[in-house]
Structure 1
Amino acid sequence: MRQLILDLLPDARPSFENFVAGSNGEALTGLAAWLAESSREPLLFLWGDAGAGKSHLLRASQAAYSDARLDPDLSEIAADSTNGAWHAVDNVEALGEQGQIALFNLINRLPSGGTGRLLAAAGVPPLQLDLREDLRTRLGSGLIYRLQALSDHEKLAALAEQAQARGLVLPPEAFNYLFSRAPRDMRSLAALLITIDRYSIEHQRPVTLPLLREILQTSLNI
């Protein structure tokens, strides 16, 4: 079900503008300051539960992105001997032995002048990672911010705001109806909102609960 919804989502690159901040204002402010050219801190670490937006922000940073779940050896980083590159490494907890060595060597190559930087992310803070001790220590030596997943109230508010921005009029009970039947991560919910908008326009019908039921049953096979 979730993949069917995600397949309908436009291929929009993650950005800071389309990130729903919720209660993560402090982390976003810290990340923006770290990304500034004037920053001299070479390392920033984001952690938080799944769905908090870690991958979104790493991709939005425009650094060279690596996902340790897909490449536990960090093969591209291992082959990169430059000192001025900016790297973003996601899901650090999934690193294999070779990937841990590659990341440790990358951190050691980071200059203090800010020309090369590392943005890393995991589900737990650095010192709780099941990695080699020297790497955990290095990852914990920089700036650390926790990302909080959106509450249900924040998700509903974000959906209402996105619907209003699209000029999409939904009945008051629509959000709770969708919330109880669709995946509740923001990416899936945003994709479903786009689907509803398109379906309503194509069939020239206002959005009602029967229409929502029809979309879920036919378009998404729910």
Structure 2
Amino acid sequence: MTPAPRQLPLDLPHRPALDRADFLVAPANRAALAWLDRWPDWPGPALVVVGPPGSGKSHLAAVFAARSGAVMLAPKDLPGADPLALAEVGAVVLDDADRVDPPRPLLHLWNLLREAGGHLLLIASRPPARWGVGLRDLDSRLRTAPVATIEPPDDALFAAVLVKLFADRQLALDPAAVRYLVGHMERSFAAARRLAETADRLALAEKRPITLPLLRRALEPGLG
């Protein structure tokens, strides 16, 4: 019998759930969430949220932006942005802030937001002490900003993250599969995201549901 043709998986975007109610609260991220919930009663104009890739930093940033009306920027946007207009908005989120280059536009924006009573949320993978901005005035301001760190996930949070990442793709994980993955895969948010992407691609190509054998294959080196 001729085998059924494999379906070509299309690289279609999916929309992750980024509302406040969708955020998975656990000991690993509770401190960061508490800082954002304190807004606008921060001790200064800026807050730094630090965590590994895929740890929920972007989710927190989206929640904050929805609440505060903040403009969301990447480092490449800063040199061409109008800092006065941003200061008038009153709140800015800068993703990948530890990659900002050149640093002077960030210093200018920080100063204007402070003068206007606005706020700046800096999202980063490394603490400010390791950014090496090379600008004394900006470095001194970063040292005064509170830093909220998202810690590595415990079993419960990692399991919940896996379920959410698959649910974002309209895929269901049964409890046995979740237990297997928690015990057998790399314990990182980035690895969980890669697994969901790989499993989705395999299931679509083979027109199969998400099963434990498929997940084992998705964990094989070179597939993620």
Indicate the TM-score class for this superposition, using the shorter chain for normalisation: 0.5 to 0.7
User: Which among 27, 34, 41 is matched to residue 29 of structure 1?
Assistant: 34
Unaligned runs of 5+ in 1: none
Question: 1:123 matched to which residue of 2?
Answer: 125
User: How far is 1:119 from its partner?
Assistant: 0.6
Contact between 2:99 and 2:131, CA under 8 Å: does it hold in 1?
Answer: no
**Residue 174 of structure 2 aligns to which amino acid in structure 1?**
L
Number of aligned residue pairs:
200
TM norm structure 1: 0.67
Percentage identity across aligned positions?
Answer: 25
RMSD: 4.1
Contact between 1:19 and 1:56, CA under 8 Å: does it hold in 2?
Answer: yes
User: How far is 1:120 from its partner?
Assistant: 0.7
Question: 1:176 matched to which residue of 2?
Answer: 180
Summarize the alignment of residues 167-206 of structure 1 with structure 2, pairs less than 5 Å apart.
168=172, 170=174, 172-173=176-177, 175-176=179-180, 180=185, 185=190, 186-189=192-195, 195=200
Local SS of the residue matching 2:84: coil
Contact between 2:50 and 2:123, CA under 8 Å: does it hold in 1?
Answer: yes
For residues 189 and 33 of structure 1, what CA distance do their matches in structure 2 show?
34
User: How far is 1:149 from its partner?
Assistant: 3.1
Contact between 1:40 and 1:113, CA under 8 Å: does it hold in 2?
Answer: no
Local SS of the residue matching 1:26: helix
Unaligned runs of 5+ in 2: 1-8
Contact between 1:104 and 1:135, CA under 8 Å: does it hold in 2?
Answer: yes
Q: Which runs of 4+ in 1 moved over 6 A?
A: 161-164
User: Which among 140, 143, 168 is matched to residue 143 of structure 2?
Assistant: 140
**Residue 100 of structure 2 aligns to which amino acid in structure 1?**
L
**Residue 137 of structure 1 aligns to which amino acid in structure 2?**
S
For residues 107 and 174 of structure 2, what CA distance do their matches in structure 1 show?
51
User: How far is 1:156 from its partner?
Assistant: 1.9
Summarize the alignment of residues 1-222 of structure 1 with structure 2, pairs less than 5 Å apart.
7=11, 10-12=14-16, 14-22=18-26, 23-34=28-39, 36=40, 41-62=44-65, 63-68=70-75, 71=76, 74-77=78-81, 79-82=82-85, 83-85=87-89, 86-97=91-102, 100-111=103-114, 114=117, 116-131=118-133, 132-151=135-154, 153-159=156-162, 168=172, 170=174, 172-173=176-177, 175-176=179-180, 180=185, 185=190, 186-189=192-195, 195=200, 208-210=211-213, 212=215, 216=218
